[in-house]
Structure 1
Amino acid sequence: MAQVRLLRHATLVIKIDGSSFLVDPLLAKKDTLDPIIWTSNNIRNPMVDLPVSEAELAEIIDSVDGVIITHTHNDHWDDAARSLVPKDKLLIGQPQDRPKLLEQGYTNVTSIDKETTIGGLRIIRTDGQHGTGEIGAMMAPVSGFILQGNKESIYVAGDTIWCDEVAQAILQYQPDTIILNAGAAQFDKGEPITMTADDVLSVCRNSNATRIICVHMETINHCYLKRDTLRKAIEKEGQSGRCIVPDDGEILK
């Protein structure tokens, strides 16, 4: 049975078909990073600590088969992650980020244009839209990844809003579990660049997934959608049984 553990923000530990992956590691200590630019608040990041000790974090990094990096924005791959993840650890990401990861000294980088197989697991890269208009163009490129095992599949959508690319990935691959980066992240200018409550509900309406997991909240200063607000919207829609908003550290099987 597959297992998803939310550490914080979009940082996950996923276990499926005997393989395990750390996803989008944001490993800095609380308040050690500057606020996101183009925001009117001065809250430092991350706003919360990791829910694991340094020893447990080291054990997680050592035990996973690889690290999946949907894109290299600092809240998904930060200096702390680069200092803690060994240079020979398998990194999996989008083709555009391969040169940067190699420049950072990593020697085992797999970039996925369309798909590959790792340890018997099929890994498919998907597209998304990290916002709209000028802001969306500035934030690109971003990717999602589908982990397709023998009996289960997990779609990590990445930093994207609800868009044709996400709808197509759901329709084509019919994932059992979908992980959404919610939080409605937004700058002072422009529209949200990650999923709003309405976006999450659009995924619910357009998917047959058994479980939809919403993360990417209450950690970074420009993510304004709170867990309680999203949970209420999900409940009002009648989707509480399948659409989950986990707390930091929570394990979902």
Structure 2
Amino acid sequence: MNISHIRNATIIVQYAGKKFLVDPMLADKGAYPPFPAGINEEMRNPLNDLPTSIDHIINDVDAVILTHLHLDHYDDVAKEVLPKNIKVFVQNEGDAKQVKSDGFQQVEILEENTLFDGIQLIKTQGEHGRGEELLKNMGQVSGVVFKHETEKTLYVAGDTVYYEGVKIELDTHRPDVIIVNAGDNQWHDFGSLVMGKEDVFEVHKKAPDAKIIAVHMEAVNHWTLSREELKRFGEEKGFSSSLLVPGDGESYNF
């Protein structure tokens, strides 16, 4: 398994001989207005350039996985440059309808046991924040677990905070590698939309033998947790050896 962090939640997963592109946000720096989240609204998104060319990112991709359809996970450039005949996995019928209307021809809804060329893809639950009103506004989100007899188990948690559903996924699948969206992005007075440092620590305590990769950081205007702060926190709490905080363009082999 090789995991390449591109930017924000965009990652490339090389797994059991297949290349997966997850949550592609491929626009140039500053292409989009800021999210109206009450934080850094003078900054246009994305905040950084891609670390490599779009051609390099999408070349030889076997399948795309969209955990949900927010702009920072599935943007206009991705819709334009990805081949319309590429396999796209989505979380539900509503997302499938939208992606099909964008011209993609091979759209499949992830289930509890979806198979793609021998790789098991399992849709996982998530909550995009805390509180009924915020969750209603943010909509349904998902993650995905990758399993194959020749690979370690990978859990991509997606845009979720740490809550009972994540505990269940960790207990059920016992992943060796966990990717968390950990920028502690905030929305007005509603609080966190994704994991902050305490959430990441809870993931570690629940899965102490797993490697945790923290992404979705310093990439869109409403982030509040920096890479350096999370690294320091990992050292303070004694789990830095289990925590990886990649810069854009970094990759890991497992």
TM-score, L = length of structure 2: 0.95
Per the alignment, residue 171 of structure 2 pairs with 171
1:90 to 38, 62, 87: 87
2:182 is the alignment partner of 1:189? no
2:71 partner amino acid: N
| RMSD (Å), alpha carbons | 1.0
Contact 2:182/2:196 (CA < 8 Å) preserved in 1? yes
Contact 1:174/1:209 (CA < 8 Å) preserved in 2? no
Per the alignment, residue 162 of structure 2 pairs with 162
2:23 is the alignment partner of 1:11? no
Secondary structure of 1:170 counterpart: helix
Structure 1 unpaired stretches of 5+: none
CA distance in 2, matches of 1:15, 1:24: 15
2:115 is the alignment partner of 1:117? yes
Structure 2 unpaired stretches of 5+: none
Per the alignment, residue 200 of structure 2 pairs with 200
Contact 1:174/1:208 (CA < 8 Å) preserved in 2? no
Runs of 4+ off more than 3 Å: none
What displacement does 1:40 show? 4.0
CA distance in 1, matches of 2:46, 2:212: 24
Secondary structure of 1:241 counterpart: helix
What displacement does 1:209 show? 4.1
CA distance in 2, matches of 1:38, 1:210: 33
Measured against aligned partners, the alpha-carbon deviations of 1:162-208 in whole angstroms (never above 9, x if no partner) come to 01111100000001100000100101220101001000000000014
Secondary structure of 2:240 counterpart: coil
Secondary structure of 1:193 counterpart: coil
**What are the equivalent positions in structure 2 for 1:19-58 lying under 5 Å apart?**
19-41=18-40, 42-53=42-53, 57-58=54-55
Per the alignment, residue 241 of structure 1 pairs with 241
What displacement does 1:210 show? 2.9
CA distance in 2, matches of 1:213, 1:40: 25
What displacement does 1:148 show? 0.6
Per the alignment, residue 215 of structure 1 pairs with 215
CA distance in 1, matches of 2:85, 2:27: 21
CA distance in 2, matches of 1:209, 1:120: 26
1:244 partner amino acid: L
Count of aligned pairs between the two proteins: 249
Contact 1:176/1:208 (CA < 8 Å) preserved in 2? no
Contact 2:113/2:121 (CA < 8 Å) preserved in 1? yes
TM-score, L = length of structure 1: 0.96
CA distance in 1, matches of 2:236, 2:96: 42
Q: Which deviates more, 196-205 or 105-114?
A: 105-114
Distance 1:104 1:243, change over 3 A: same
Task: Among all aligned residue pairs of Structure 1 and Structure 2, give the percentage whose two residues are the same amino acid.
Answer: 37
Measured against aligned partners, the alpha-carbon deviations of 1:7-61 in whole angstroms (never above 9, x if no partner) come to 00000000111111011000010011100013242111111000002xxx21431
CA distance in 2, matches of 1:119, 1:59: 23
CA distance in 2, matches of 1:39, 1:221: 9
Measured against aligned partners, the alpha-carbon deviations of 1:207-241 in whole angstroms (never above 9, x if no partner) come to 14431100000110001110000000111111111
